[in-house]
Each structure stands twice: as structure tokens, then as C-alpha cells.
Amino acid sequence: MSVESQSMINVSEDLKFNLSNSRISYIFQVSAEGVLEHLFFGQRISASHGLSAGPRREFRGCTLEFQSIENYNLDDTPQEYPWYGTSDSRQPAVHIRNGEGNSTSTFLFKSHRVVQNKPELNSLPSARGLDSETLQIQLLDSVTDILLTLNYTVYEHHDVIARSTHFSNNSDHAVTILNAHSSCLDLPQGDYELLHFNGSWAREFESERMVVPKGRFTIESTRGASSNAHNPFLVLMSKGAGEQNGDVYATTLMYSGNFSLSTEKNEFESVRILAGINPFNFQWVLEPGASFSTPESLQVFSNQGLDGMSQVWHRFVKEQVSPLQFNDVARPTYLNSWEAAYFDVSHGKILELADKAKQFGVEMLVLDDGWFVGRSDDTTSLGDWFSDAEKFPEGVEETAKQVKAKGLKFGLWFEPEMVNRKSKLFVKHPEWLIQVPDRRFSTGRYQNILDLTRQEVIDYLFDRLDSFLKSGMIDYVKWDMNRVMTEVGSLALPSNRQLEVPHRYMLGLYQLLDRVTTKYPNVLFENCASGGNRFDLGMLRYMSQGWVSDMCDPVGRLAIINGASHLFPLSTLASYIGPVPNHQNGRFTSVKMRQDVGFFASARGLSLNEEDLETSREEIEAAIELYKKTAQDMVGGSFHRLKYTNNEVCWQLISSDKRRVYVGYYHILSAPNLPYRRARLIGLDVSVGYHLVSSGEVFGGDALMHLGIDLPYVDAMQHQEGRDYNNHLDKGDFASNLMVFERV
């Protein structure tokens, strides 16, 4: 019998927990033996009776029985937070080596409570808890006296369940946590497919879709950053799910370090999804009286396919994750000095670029790498965060002041976590590097990582950043990070804590980010890591936007934006129009193609030198004007993927008031005599008309949604000027068209 209330969390007398908003339900129960059994995650179910964790089947072959309970085998039981050693042979959510040296445990139900909203996670980023309720379940291993608190938050307006686990050692023995996942989701037998995002530098967010295999499949990072090799985001879906159809279960982590997300399909064909800190090369010593919190895991269910899932993530990231003060603020157009000048920056050059930026209507000048003492190339000076006196005789703050006097905003690049061994900081503090004794350093881009497990390093970096930000002259910070961890160790920690370094590093980084962004809430922070080498919700909790990739060729960037958009809203994406030939892959593309692809981001700008700017002056001025005019819609609108193939991409953005619709169509390689294609638009008002700005032609909202629009075509053989509105693409390769519709 349910205890009926208006609460989103209902607990029945027989300990069934039903977490439901008006669209989704997450339900589990305590078995007679005290095991927390998963019952359901999916479309809303109002009552929990009639649900079962599955039949307890008679003894089959060599199947084991948990604690000699007849026909109760944990291998065949969906669970909420499984442990190791007592008849479930799948990967456990928790694995602890106890004081006796063995790793068997049994975490059984102890108590529960419901709290309004969402308690903050200790020292880790977590989603906000606006309009939410949290269920806390305590599980106890009575032999070791380790107490786990499982947190489940359900939101009224978001189809997301947020989860984390808190460990407390109430015994008088130290234990070692070997594996502490944030969440486990045991889905019933089914034909599932999975989608994950992977890549490398300059080709982040490529995607792979596959049938969930038997056995384990894992995406992970062991690099000390969430990485561009695998994004901490895994999508499971019913077979054949598409953009608009199918059941989708997606998981991501609010974590930026070593993670693991895995599926395991066992002999009974149920699928276990585990998400958390990567157990590889991880241990955490939990002394008596100490506690440990896992990062937060976020789970989404949508019965409306991948687009339905993305809409849930996009709104959730904006409303519950990224800094609220910038969410609905149009981002300034900018000129970034990187591909315009690389390390060759100076007071005079920046002022010249600022003048150019101003002439082109750009709103912010960003001084990227190369401004601090001795930084003439990438071999030197990281760590020495003082202005280079030759390039900036009166300090970059003075340059910033003069740029701002021209009516522009000013942005500055930092890479706080790094040090070059050619630096004053390294000479003074060689012990401040992540390192292991007697091993040679592996370097990446000639740099090493500072040991953020040390409080004095965090304090030094805070002080250096603060010394610039307190001038009040810096409106935007690009926070870069250009190498991952090797020879992982800290000279400040004892030997039994060396495998804690990667996670302790993240705790240090989050502390630093928290201090800086709390002190300077009006500075716009952009997350960067050689592009998207650490592009995750952990970083976006502190920073409103991210440099998703160094790939600035528009063709290369199509896949990146398409992939990233599965989880990240446009409000978190930054882009710029870069030079041709493109510096990453050498391709020549038109300003139009570069502008039309760069259009789908909230932070938009240029990274062009004076010559590049002059070459296409009118087109670039027009691009900046368009970017400014549409800036508000980019942060507030809803983005949809209409089409994505190897040769064609079509995206749509509809403004939050539904008055303006932008459709970008990209055709990569031309081909003759192609079939006509249509795309059906999404989310329009069916009862009104929309006019295509370029032609004035009016289309019914219902027609655009149900019939669709004809996509422009490459018609290389028969192109006749002025044949119809804008239904031709440029002849040849790398063509694009941006259609703007306004509600009549």
C-alpha cells in the first residue's frame, strides 16, 4: 500500500521506493533479505505494486544461492548498488578491501530518509537541486561497519535522476576502497544498442553505435582528465531507436578525471551500466571515522528517441549545471589572437587587433597564449604568471584597459595547472610537479602538471589568477589544459596513498575553480583542454562555455558539433571562423561555409590576422553582424539534429519564443543528379505561418513540420541564376546554406 502524497518520492510500507515526476519513474525495493533490488526506470508508473525484481527460479546447474536462501541468486537479480563476493559475479558497484585483507562484503538496507531539494556534494561539483527531492538510503556491511549512503535526486521539471554514494568508515580499522561507482543501473533483458563518443585531438566527439555485446564493454579514461578519447557519456537505447523514436537511457558523470562507464550483459542477458571513477589505478584508504564521496552520476530516460534525450540534457545543463548568471546572457562576439598571431603578441599588436576588431563590429578581444614572462614559444614559462615586460611593458592589465577604452571587452588566456621545466617556478619548486621518484618525466608539449593535491600549489595558483582578475579589466578567461598525466604520483603523499593522486588532483582543481569563479562571478570562463580533452559537466559546473575542439575547419567541425550536441546545449559551445588554408587539416573553404557551421554555438568569433580579415572584409563584417543579431537565440533556443550522414548535415535551432527558426544545411562533396531531399522541422507552432527571410515566401508551420522543406541542392550542371529563392548551393564541394524563418 502506498503512502500517497504530493511528494515525488513515495515509500510504501513494504519498502518500495517510487521516485516519479509527471513523466518518468525510478523504482526499487528492499527484498526480504535486505538487498536493494532495482525494479524499473522508464516512463512514469504511478503505483509500485505488481512490480517484481524477477521470479526466483529453481536451482539451475551450478547457480549459487545468496546466503543459502533458496532460489535467490544475485547474479540474476537486478540491484541498486551491488557488492563483490556473495553470488553476483558481475562487476560490482562497490569493492572494498577490509582490515582482514579480503574483499567480500554484504551491504544490506539499514534506513532511509527523504529530504527536500538536494544536499551539496562534499568538495565535488554537483548539479543544483532546484525543484527536486532526494531520497537517501543507508546500506550497512555489518562485518566491517562501513556505511554507505546512496543519494537519489528526482526533479520536478527534468527527466533526470542524480545519484552519488557517500562512504563512512564507522569501524576502528582502516579499509581500502578499490572501486566506488557513482551509480549502477541493472536493466532487464532486452535488445539494446549503445552509442558513445570518442576521438582524439581535433576530432573529438566522433560517435560509434553498436549492439550491446555480451560481456563487458567499457569506455574510460586513465589519463587524469576525462579526455577526448572517450567522453564520459554513454547512451543505451532500444534497438532501432532514432532521433524521434525509441527508449533511451543515458548516463553521464559530473567528473573531469579518470572515469569508467561500462555495460555488462551477462548470461541472463540483463544489462548492467556502471558509472564512476575508473577503478583502474585507483585506491582510497578510508581511515576510521573518515568518509569519501563519489562524483555525481546523472541518468536520463526519454521515450522520444535521441532528440528527446538531448532536449532533456540541454535544459538540465542550462538550468541545473552551468553557472546561472550567464545562462541567458548573449555571449559577445570576439577576436582571438591565437590563429591570428600565435606567440607573437605584444601591447602594440593587441591594440592593432583591437582596432580591427572594432572596425569589424566585434565586441571582445581575447589575448590567448604568449603574454606572460618569457613565453616566446611552447617550451617555456608556464607557471610564471607575470606579464612579459618586453611585450607588455606596463602589464597586460594596462593593455586590457586600453582595449576596453575602445569599447571592447577583454579576455585573457591561462593554463594554470601546468609548468614548463624551463620556468622560474620549476627552479624554485621542483617538488610541485606530479611525479614519481627515480622515473624520467614524459613530457607533452614540453610541459608537466602541477601537483594539485598540495594545498600550497592551489594557493599559489589562486593568488596568481587573482592578481590579474582583481584589476577588474578582465571580462573573460580561457582556462586551458594541454597535457594528460603520466608518472602519476605526489611527493607530498605517503606510499599507501599514491593511487589516490588522480582523484585528489581533481578535488584540488575543483577547489581552485570554485574559489576563482566564486570570487569573480561576473567573469565569463571558458573551459579548454587542447580543444575538447576535458569537456564534461564537471568543468561546465564552473565555466559557462567550452572550446570543444581545435578543429576549425568547418567540415571537420560538423561531426564534432553533431556529436557534442547529444549532451551539450549550444549555450556551452564556442567557435570561431579561422583562416584558410585551415591550420589543422589544410582545407580551403569559403567564409560562408565557415560562418554557417560556426553559427551553431553561443560564443562566436574570429581568429584571423589583419591580412585574413581584409581578404574577405564584407563577408566577415556580415558574419559578425549576423552573429550579434542572433546571439540571444543561441543561448536560449532549442537545437535539433535533422540529418547527419557522411555527406550531408542539417541542424535546426528554434528561438525560445518560437518566433525565429534557423536551419543550417551542409553538403560536403558535390555530386551530379542527386535526388531531392526534405527535412521536417521540429517544435514549430502548427497554426501559424513562417516566412523565409531570404525570399519572403511563407510556409505553414504544420507544413514545415509534417511535409518539411526542400533542402537546397548542388546542381552543378544546370545552375541558372535566380531560378528560385535560395534553393541552390554553391557549386562544388563544401557548400552550405543557412535558412532563417520568421513567424508571420
Q: Which residues are catalytic?
A: 480, 550
Count of residues that interact with ligand DGJ, criterion CB under 6 A: 11
Based on the shown chain and the rule CB under 6 A, indicate whether residue 528 belongs to the binding site for ligand DGJ.
yes
Burial class, 686, CB count within 10 angstroms (exposed 0-12 / middle 13-18 / buried 19+): exposed
Based on the shown chain and the rule CB under 6 A, indicate whether residue 530 belongs to the binding site for ligand DGJ.
yes
Based on the shown chain and the rule CB under 6 A, indicate whether residue 385 belongs to the binding site for ligand DGJ.
no
Element spanning 466, H or E: helix 455-469
Pick the piece of the chain touching ligand DGJ (CB under 6 A) from 100-108, 461-469, 526-534, 656-664.
526-534
> In the complex, what is the shortest distance from the CB of residue 368 to ligand DGJ, in angstroms, rounded to a whole number?
5
> In the complex, what is the shortest distance from the CB of residue 100 to ligand DGJ, in angstroms, rounded to a whole number?
49
Based on the shown chain and the rule CB under 6 A, indicate whether residue 368 belongs to the binding site for ligand DGJ.
yes
> In the complex, what is the shortest distance from the CB of residue 59 to ligand DGJ, in angstroms, rounded to a whole number?
59
**Length of the chain in terms of residues written:** 744
Based on the shown chain and the rule CB under 6 A, indicate whether residue 334 belongs to the binding site for ligand DGJ.
no
Based on the shown chain and the rule CB under 6 A, indicate whether residue 141 belongs to the binding site for ligand DGJ.
no
Based on the shown chain and the rule CB under 6 A, indicate whether residue 531 belongs to the binding site for ligand DGJ.
yes
Pick the piece of the chain touching ligand DGJ (CB under 6 A) from 107-115, 264-272, 527-535, 554-562.
527-535
Binding mask 454-493 for ligand DGJ (x = CB under 6 A): --------------------------x-x-----------
Pick the piece of the chain touching ligand DGJ (CB under 6 A) from 14-22, 253-261, 345-353, 525-533.
525-533
Residue of the chain from 37, 369, 417, 730 that contacts ligand DGJ (CB under 6 A): 369
Closest by CA to 652, choosing from 660, 644, 662, 643, is: 662
Based on the shown chain and the rule CB under 6 A, indicate whether residue 26 belongs to the binding site for ligand DGJ.
no
Segment 191 to 230, residues that bind ligand DGJ, using CB under 6 A: none
Based on the shown chain and the rule CB under 6 A, indicate whether residue 435 belongs to the binding site for ligand DGJ.
no
- The number of C-alpha atoms within 13 Å of 271 and in the hemisphere containing its C-beta is 23
- The beta-carbon contacts of 40-48 under 8 Å, at least 24 apart in sequence, are 41/161, 41/185, 41/187, 41/249, 41/299, 41/301, 42/247, 42/301, 42/303, 43/247, 43/301, 43/303, 44/20, 45/18, 45/20, 46/20, 47/2, 47/18, 48/2, 48/10, 48/12, 48/16, 48/17, 48/18
CA–CA gap between residue 412 and residue 261 (Å, rounded): 35
Based on the shown chain and the rule CB under 6 A, indicate whether residue 525 belongs to the binding site for ligand DGJ.
no
In the chain, the amino acid numbered 560 is I
Peptide bond between residue 581 and the one before it cis (omega within 30 degrees of 0): yes
- Our CB check for ligand DGJ shows the closer of 141 and 369 to be 369
CA–CA gap between residue 127 and residue 298 (Å, rounded): 9
What is the spatial order of strands in the sheet that 660-667 belongs to?
Answer: 638-644, 648-654, 660-667, 735-743, 689-692, 698-700
Based on the shown chain and the rule CB under 6 A, indicate whether residue 381 belongs to the binding site for ligand DGJ.
no
CA–CA gap between residue 353 and residue 355 (Å, rounded): 5
327: cell is 545562462
Pick the piece of the chain touching ligand DGJ (CB under 6 A) from 71-79, 461-469, 528-536, 654-662.
528-536
Residue nearest to ligand DGJ (CB): 369
> In the complex, what is the shortest distance from the CB of residue 522 to ligand DGJ, in angstroms, rounded to a whole number?
22
CA–CA gap between residue 319 and residue 301 (Å, rounded): 18
- Our CB check for ligand DGJ shows the closer of 313 and 413 to be 413
Four-CA torsion 355, 359, 360, 363, nearest 10 degrees: 60
CA–CA gap between residue 715 and residue 710 (Å, rounded): 14
Binding mask 540-559 for ligand DGJ (x = CB under 6 A): -------x--x---------
Residue of the chain from 109, 155, 338, 426 that contacts ligand DGJ (CB under 6 A): 338
Give 327-375 as a DSSP string: HTSPPPPEEESHHHHTT---HHHHHHHHHHHHHTT--EEEE-SS-BTT-
> In the complex, what is the shortest distance from the CB of residue 587 to ligand DGJ, in angstroms, rounded to a whole number?
18
- Our CB check for ligand DGJ shows the closer of 292 and 343 to be 343
Based on the shown chain and the rule CB under 6 A, indicate whether residue 571 belongs to the binding site for ligand DGJ.
no
- Our CB check for ligand DGJ shows the closer of 480 and 633 to be 480
CA–CA gap between residue 152 and residue 310 (Å, rounded): 21
Q: Which residues are at the interface with ligand DGJ (CB under 6 A)?
A: 338, 368-369, 413, 480, 482, 528, 530-531, 547, 550
